[in-house]
Amino acid sequence: MSYLFWNKSRKLLLKHFRRKNVMCNVLLMPLLQIPSGHHHVADCIKDQLLQSSEDFQCEKVEILSYCYGKLETLISTVYLQGIHKLPNVYSWIYKTLAVKGKTRNRHYLYEHLFLKKVSHIINQIRPDVIICTHALPSYLVNRLKEINQWEGIVINAYTDYFINDLWGIKHIDYHLVPSTQVKQELLIRGVCFAT
């Protein structure tokens, strides 16, 4: 992630909410509880925001355990064992579900399993900004904005060296990218970057 780009985004958020003279409520959304790059990025962003200003209030909600409780532990265990014991099977499943080469418009299974619950999280926390560090929360929040069920600012913080097809793009306000290659992928998908 480019520090300069993050610094610029943080200043934009501060400017936006100071103009309104209100506290900025930020919701950070990784997927699983296991310590991963998604959590590390969310924690770093949270720390940076809280250190930069008292105008930020941050909460991190991992959506799988929030939505399905102890089932998350089972899913995380199977996920980690699958990566270590059957990497080819894991790779095939990942490519089948998220990397099709052609962006699908809708992921009905994910919407059925998570959309109402993520909407409930948002209604409970009432964030001004949502920062997604995983593709699934990004897809779901993007979808909620698309159907006019939420209107706040959404930031994708990409944690991989490529963008799989699950990431929400169209209704995302800011993109924190780890490399110029990822930026180029977003440009190809129609994202405009401010200079």
Whether residue 194 is contained in a domain is answered as: no
pLDDT of residue 4: 38
Q: Which pLDDT does position 37 carry in this prediction? A: 66
* Model pLDDT, residue 96: 65
Angle, CA of 161, 170 and 68, to the nearest 5°: 75
pLDDT reported for residue 3: 39
Residue 19 located in a structural domain: no
Q: How buried is 164 (Cβ within 10 angstroms: 0-12 exposed, 13-18 middle, 19+ buried)?
A: middle
Flag whether 177 is in a domain: yes
Query: How many domains, the chain?
Result: 1
Position 29 in a domain: yes
Q: Is residue 193 part of a domain?
A: no
> Which domain range does residue 66 map to?
3-14+24-188
195 assigned to some structural domain: no
CATH of the domain at 151: 3.40.50
> Which pLDDT score, from 0 to 100, does residue 13 have?
66
Q: What is the pLDDT of residue 150?
A: 95
Say if 65 falls within a structural domain: yes
Q: Is residue 157 one of the residues assigned to a domain?
A: yes
Average pLDDT per consecutive 10 residues, the chain (195 residues; last block may be shorter)? 50 64 85 68 90 89 79 67 73 63 68 93 96 94 97 91 87 89 88 73
